[in-house]
Structure 1
């Protein structure tokens, strides 16, 4: 039979050897995983305010650029009572300031009028005192002249008395007249000094009370009252100006808050593709409700499982080759993270599920080098696609295999 031919047996042996080499060679020259998954993260876009969606959001699978508008939310039920209250308070403060300024201006006119009246009265009083002073000065001169005459008459009578012509009574009468004229001179001098003091004080704006000057204290008191009132009005004007300014700042902040609550534009945080959406045009949303998920294709990676015995041979930074299942194109990658079989699996922000296993397999994350996959938005950047990852061995470590076998046996 043909199977008993030597050539046939040799051919079959060679085929079996080639098959064995084909089966064992990949394991001897490197590590290969068939359960890899292309993965990426996505950003969850939440509603910044309560309201209604005003424009149709982009459909699932729509590419979006960074800063592009994803949704516009309008809220017509914003509470504006605080804003209205601040505006009313600001208007009241400004009206109060205007009224106080009008009152202050009127009092300033009254103050000027009183000052003018007081100035006129002061000038008239000064002129009157100056005239009285001149009259008294003349009287002083007359009194001095009379005093001189009285002294001369006294001397003459004393001389005639010594000669026996005048009697003593006539001399005493002359002495009395001289004393009277001397007193009148002294009284006149004192009166002149008093008028001079009043005149000097009046020129300095100090009114000394006297007959016919009852109007002066009232005018000055009234003027002082007006000045005090003006100062009080200035203080109240400053307070209301400050209150109006503070209210203006509060009004600006409240108006900004209301405008932010009335409408919000939600931009895309980066360039990517719409992964999912929970809203349509006209739907109502609440604060922090999830609206969209944007797939981030900037950093793609592949999660794979390899036997944990090869944990130390696959380390962060090691280069790898990635091939999508069903495609011949090979993509470059680099190990990003290595986790043990019992490590907690990240699931919340990943677009695809990580491979699961019940065996002792290490979890390897291989970051893909930027390529055409990062811009393949029509196919969601191939996220979720099964991938084959291969790491090349630098040598065949038989020693490690024997040591592992020895440890397991003994």
Structure 2
């Protein structure tokens, strides 16, 4: 019985020693800290900053406007020149419209005058044609009488006509005599002359109805018609010039819009959050004059948290990037799966320049390891538990199964 108790006690002592040694000798970090990257918002231009009252640690969303910078001395000379040129082009466009309107009114007035002249000329030719046809009908009616003759012709007229023809035939070639009007001497000649006059007038009235006036043997187009043609040619040229001016106005308007946008970008620029996280540091206050590229705000990137830890040299040399690990957060007992992401070694102070939590002196005396812990975003500690501490374990320990049950 005593021997049994001795063996049981010895076994309990051995198990206890194994647990204590296994817990202490397992690969683990001395300390660990939940960390995250910092991002800096810089002034895109020189000017005065406008910023609302922002509380440290305030939650910000990606794309949220946090401040703005206004430059009251931005160069607007180019914009003013383009606006002046655009206004001049608009004035020229309006002038062309006025000239086109006046020309169109003159064309309408001349068109009315030309139409009146055309109607009057046609009526005149119709009257002459009507009388010419009446004379022809009278002559043809007299010609139908067997004893019809031109009794009104005197013998002296016949003799004078014969003498005139004789003098014309015997005159020298170098000095031709003046032409003597051919006077009809019989009824047939009078009828032929009347028919010729009727034909000429019929052709004249047909041409007049087509807009060509040949009543007097030449194209006597009225002044109104000629002026109307000139104005029509000028109006066509004005229309082409007006279309070109409209294109110039549109092009200048587009250039003015682009330059105005450029001036607005140079005159005022917003500062928007480029990550979702927390406001970590304010480096410039409301109403302060800042230079281009000057740091204004620092934000904590809560979408990419990691855990930084320090380990001994023996543990460090046994680690490889991508190895599995466990992170246990202090105070809550939560254990999260982790993966080794970076092995920075001893004295890794420079890699913390863009991280929220800087390492202590004892941390830098050991070997730096960074692990990713995806489960932290869904933990009870919140979406951004930066600053929380714990320990990282890289090897299994005797009480891991018991911890899993708890």
Whether the TM-score (by the shorter chain) exceeds 0.5 is yes
The answer on whether the counterparts of 1:303 and 1:366 sit within 8 Å (CA) in structure 2 is: no
Match of 2:316 among 307, 315, 319: 307
Match of 1:65 among 60, 66, 70: 60
Corresponding position of 2:302: 297
**1:102: Cα distance to partner?**
1.5
Corresponding position of 1:31: 27
Corresponding position of 1:4: none
Q: Secondary structure at the match of 2:338?
A: strand
**Structure 1, residues 313-334: CA drift from partner, whole Å, max 9, x if none?**
x63xx4623234xxx3333333
Q: Secondary structure at the match of 1:31?
A: coil
Q: Secondary structure at the match of 2:318?
A: helix
**1:257: Cα distance to partner?**
3.1
Q: Secondary structure at the match of 1:255?
A: helix
Matched, 1:119 2:125: no
Q: Secondary structure at the match of 1:329?
A: coil
The answer on whether the counterparts of 1:300 and 1:368 sit within 8 Å (CA) in structure 2 is: no
Corresponding position of 2:327: 321
**1:373: Cα distance to partner?**
4.2
The alpha-carbon distance between structure 1 residues 186 and 62, as it changes in their structure 2 partners (threshold 3 A), is: same
**Structure 1, residues 346-396: CA drift from partner, whole Å, max 9, x if none?**
66643345776887x8764444522354467xxxx443x65411245289x
**Structure 1, residues 158-185: CA drift from partner, whole Å, max 9, x if none?**
xxxxxxxxxxxxxxxxxxx998422332
Q: Secondary structure at the match of 1:21?
A: helix
The alpha-carbon distance between structure 1 residues 217 and 200, as it changes in their structure 2 partners (threshold 3 A), is: same
The alpha-carbon distance between structure 1 residues 218 and 146, as it changes in their structure 2 partners (threshold 3 A), is: same
Structure 2 spans left out of the alignment, 5+ residues: 1-9, 150-182, 399-406
The answer on whether the counterparts of 1:64 and 1:268 sit within 8 Å (CA) in structure 2 is: no
**Structure 1, residues 201-256: CA drift from partner, whole Å, max 9, x if none?**
21122233736975x35322211111111122222222222322333333333333
Q: TM-score, normalised by structure 2?
A: 0.71
The answer on whether the counterparts of 1:308 and 1:340 sit within 8 Å (CA) in structure 2 is: no
The number of equivalent residue pairs is 346
Corresponding position of 1:268: 273
**1:127: Cα distance to partner?**
0.8
Corresponding position of 2:403: none
**Structure 1, residues 258-279: CA drift from partner, whole Å, max 9, x if none?**
3333333323344533333432
State the distance in 1 between where 2:397 and 2:19 align. 18
Structure 1 spans left out of the alignment, 5+ residues: 1-12, 155-176, 396-410
State the distance in 2 between where 1:209 and 1:37 align. 114
The alpha-carbon distance between structure 1 residues 153 and 84, as it changes in their structure 2 partners (threshold 3 A), is: closer
**1:294: Cα distance to partner?**
0.3
State the distance in 2 between where 1:294 and 1:82 align. 37
The answer on whether the counterparts of 1:86 and 1:247 sit within 8 Å (CA) in structure 2 is: yes
**1:69: Cα distance to partner?**
4.3
The alpha-carbon distance between structure 1 residues 375 and 72, as it changes in their structure 2 partners (threshold 3 A), is: same
Match of 1:49 among 40, 45, 48: 45
Mapping 1:81-230, distance limit 5 Å: 81-149=77-145, 152=147, 180-208=186-214, 210=216, 214=220, 216-230=221-235
Match of 2:257 among 252, 261, 268: 252
Corresponding position of 1:332: 335
State the distance in 2 between where 1:57 and 1:372 align. 30
